[in-house]
Structures are given as C-alpha cells and as structure tokens.
Chains A and B, each alone.
Chain A
C-alpha cells in the first residue's frame, strides 16, 4: 500500500502565481520529508527537505510546510516560473536511508 500519496496527478498555474503541491502520508514513523523535481529524460533532482521536528522550511522561492497531525505536507512555489514546469515527487523516510516516493504531480506553468 502506498505510504506517500500525491492525489493530484497534474496542476496548471499561471506564471507569477503561487503553485501549491500537496502530499499526504500514512506512516507515523516518517521523520524526514523531501521534494524532488524531474524533467523529462533526466533523473530527479533534490529540491527541498524538512525534518519532522519542524513545520516549515524555506529556500528562495520554495517553501515546504509540514502538518504532522494531519500527516500532510505541501510545497509552495512563489512566484511560479515557466522553468518550474516539471514533475514533482514527494518522498519520506522513517529513520532509515531508503526513501518512499509518491506518484508525482506534473506542474505546468503557463506564460
């Protein structure tokens, strides 16, 4: 059973607006969460992470929010740019080293 869920397969946002990508998880033992970005024909690249002891982490235009009680995290991209168009994967680990990934959300940022 999928422990990391990204229920929106796709999202379309206008350039300059905010993109919000959501992720839910079921395993209470997850203590580290990451977002990866993937362009076609390339490997995923690390974007931003958050430890379970925090509820927010910010890096430039990217902010990840963690709501442990709801087992929910979100990635905010502000402002969105056409180069942000990619597939975004949410991932989590439970004290070990292997990551569990969601199915991904395809973001399209239109001019």
Chain B
C-alpha cells in the first residue's frame, strides 16, 4: 500500500544543532507539506512544495528550510535548533484535483525536543 512515512519518530537534540526530519511518500503526489502542532496553536504551515525543485514558505518558516530533489521526499532542516522549535512535526502530501488541494494525507508525526 502507498504511504507516507516520517523519521525519526522521536528526537532529542541540543540548542544550536542542525536537525533534519525526513518525509517520504509513495503515492507519487506532487504536493508535499510540513506542519507543526503546538498546544493552543493547532497545525501551522512551515513549508510546502508543489513539485520537484519547488519550495514555498508557510506562516512559520523562520529557522526552517526544505528542498525537493525528487517527488517522494521533502526533508525539513532546522539549521540551528532552538527551544521554541520543540514541537510535533507532521508531513503531508496531496494530489490536487478540480482546482483545490484535495485531501492531505499525513504522516504519523515526529516529536522533536530541543534542550
């Protein structure tokens, strides 16, 4: 079955370190997204991509970067981790239809703790 997987599922790191969260989908979807979920804020968009070599900033993109070198993967990098980036990160993908986004399919999440 096609799926979307995130790794690692849990990560503890120190302030200032670089961290990369992996996201891999096997649906061949063009659209991929990264969200973070925090108590009191719901899901907030970090970065998104509508295809290979396309990347766009979301509402909370400061301190994060992404790259899209193939259809299947959209890794999220924290260049210098900060305690404010402690969160649960969700990757999602979709295939647009009829001019809208279609349903997003989410991974199981990566819990990141920055000490």
Known A-B contacts: A42-B108, A99-B45. Give 13 more (CB < 8 A). Answer: A43-B90, A43-B92, A43-B106, A44-B43, A44-B90, A95-B100, A96-B101, A97-B96, A97-B100, A98-B58, A101-B43, A102-B42, A103-B41
Task: Annotate B45-60 by CB proximity to A: 1 below 8 A, 0 otherwise.
Answer: 1001010000010100
Point out residues on A near B: beta carbons under 8 Å. 6, 31-32, 34, 36, 41-46, 49, 51, 89, 91, 93, 95-104
Residue of A whose beta carbon sits closest to that of B102? A97
**Interface residue count for B (Cβ, 8 Å)?**
27
A51 to B90, CA, bound (A): 25
* Interface SS of B by simple majority: strand
A44→B100 contact, CB < 8 A: no
B44→A32 contact, CB < 8 A: no
A45→B106 contact, CB < 8 A: yes
A31 to B35, CA, bound (A): 21
